[in-house]
Amino acid sequence: MDVSERAVKVAVIGGGCAAMAAAWELSRPEHAGRYEVTVFQEGWRLGGKGASGRGANGRIEEHGLHIWLGFYDNAFRMLRECHAELEALGDGDLFGDWRDAFVPENDIALLSAAEHGGFERWDAHLPPRPGLPGDPLDPGEVFSLRYYMAGAFDLLRALVLDTTVDGRGLADDRWAQGDLKGLVDYLARLGRFATAAAYQSVYQHAHGAPQRLREFTCALPEHLEKSPTAHVAHPGCFATAMLLASVPLLKLGLVAPTLFVSGITGSTGSGRKPVEGTHHPLRHGDLYAYNALAHRHAPEVTACALAASGVEADFAFVPHSGPFARGIHVTVQGALRSVRDSVQVLEMLREFYADSPFVHVTDTPPRVKNVATSNYAHLSAVADGRTVAVMCVLDNLTKGAAGGAVQWMNRLFDLPETSGLLAPAPGWT
């Protein structure tokens, strides 16, 4: 079976109302079996705090009085659809109308122990809204899914930012209340070494300035129009090539989120310390892989791709040392979600990078010699209906490092983005 056609296995832990609503949605016929759902629940009774049934000696067993507030809209909708199916099958009288199971109530009271004995009563009035529970909601309404998601991100943001590291608070009021997009973008970027511990787990040494991590945003200028922070960290050379090739595939939903990457770098991309791999007599006329499936920049690529595309992908990356000094050649392969040919994919890449002055999409496979020492990146792609391969070449020291940083500097200082970066590659001159 093609990778893109395999059922996604989903484990639902607990059989509460929200959990069953999620399982119901994922099991819809229109998904054509895309999800294989398993619900794990102790005992046989489903429904969580909405569960009831007969126990020993036929006694009714319940969890007590059940109050369903507005955030159970999906569960209400599921119940209504279940009853509608039963009625369509002629079994509607067996369970009755769904409205028979609920009593509308707009006033509730809660009691809590008082400081000096007795109880305190807390009254709440919940005004009714038009329609019935489970009716479709406009995304802009207060009790819509968007509203609750924004609230959840607000809570998560408070958890992350209202903590302290070494006695120093991380609170940041950069986003307006309920700014869902800003919160999503920020939380996605948390994956790239947002803490000193995350950095140390990848690079095996302590971060040099952990107190400044929150002051930086990491992204390619082609993938982020404006930095939300005053400082920017540009991804590394391999990361730049991989991101330029993979982010369009992920963001446009063209591929399954497992990508296979083969990359070749010149000797000038071999790190700060001289080693055998940077010694040209050893590299000349040779080609070999290193750190296969264990390159330390793979977590950076995963996090930056998530921030740029909204998709968390798995990158199976095999880097190689090439017999040349400048340049990187990367090939990214993935399984297409739908049938597409090379012409279609190339057109989508051109449209994606239409406003990126340093990214050129070519009909033929790109060559390192065409971009070496310049700030340009060349991409091309082929597709056979099931699989797509995107090739990217760039100069590891310019576009993959200093040149990309200058692009960001130009933007931050309101200069033309191309200032000082338009020199062509001299390889063919």
Return the amino acid letter for 373: T
Q: Which of 17, 82, 218, 237 is catalytic?
A: 237
Say if residue 202 is in the same domain as residue 274. Answer: no
The reply to whether 382 and 275 lie within a common domain is yes
Per-residue buried b or exposed e for 384-413, using 16+ beta carbons within 10 Å of the residue's own CB: eeebbbbbbbbbbbbbbbebbebbbebbee
Regarding whether 268 and 185 lie in a shared domain, the answer is: no
Asked if 391 and 326 sit in the same domain, the reply is: yes
Q: What is the DSSP string of 267-317?
A: GGGS-SS--GGG-HHHHTT--EE-STT--TTHHHHHHHHHHHHS---EEEE
Q: Specify whether 341 is located in the same domain as 244.
A: yes
403 Cβ contact list (under 8 Å, min separation 6): 358, 374, 375, 395, 397, 421
Q: Is the same domain home to 343 and 288?
A: yes
pLDDT of 253 above 50: yes
367 assigned to some structural domain = yes
What total of structural domains would you count in the chain? 3
Q: What percent of the chain has pLDDT over 90?
A: 37
Q: Is residue 312 included in any domain, yes or no?
A: yes
259 and 372 together in one domain: yes
Task: Name the band, by pLDDT with cuts 50, 70 and 90, for residue 154.
Answer: low
In the block, residue with structure tokens 């090439």: 322
Q: Is the pLDDT of residue 20 over 80?
A: yes
* Amino acid letter for position 411: R
Check whether 189 has a pLDDT greater than 50: no
Residue 247 parent element (H or E): helix 237-251
Mean pLDDT of 95-115: 81
**Residue 159 CB-half CA count within 13 A:** 8
Annotation marks residue 237 as catalytic: yes
Distance CA 9, CA 369 (A): 45
Mean pLDDT (whole number) for 232-248: 95
pLDDT, average across residues 143-171: 58
Percentage above 70 pLDDT, the chain:
76
Domain with 389 in it: 237-428
331 & 420 share domain: yes
If asked whether residues 228 and 252 sit together in one domain, one would say no
The one-letter code for the residue type at 11 is A
The answer to whether residues 358 and 379 touch, using CB atoms and an 8 Å cutoff, is no
252 or 190, higher pLDDT:
252
- Of 207, 233, 259, the domain-final residue: 233
pLDDT of 228 strictly over 80: yes
Considering the domain architecture, whether residues 229 and 244 belong to the same structural domain is answered as no
How do residues 25-69 score in pLDDT, each as one tens digit? 898 888 888 899 999 988 777 777 666 666 677 666 665 556 666
The answer to the question of residue 423 being in a domain is yes
Q: What pLDDT is recorded for position 60?
A: 64
User: Is the confidence at residue 168, as pLDDT, over 50?
Assistant: no
- What is the CATH number for 407? 3.30.360.10
pLDDT in tens, 349-378: 999 999 999 999 999 999 999 999 999 999
| Per-residue tokens: 294 | 């264990």
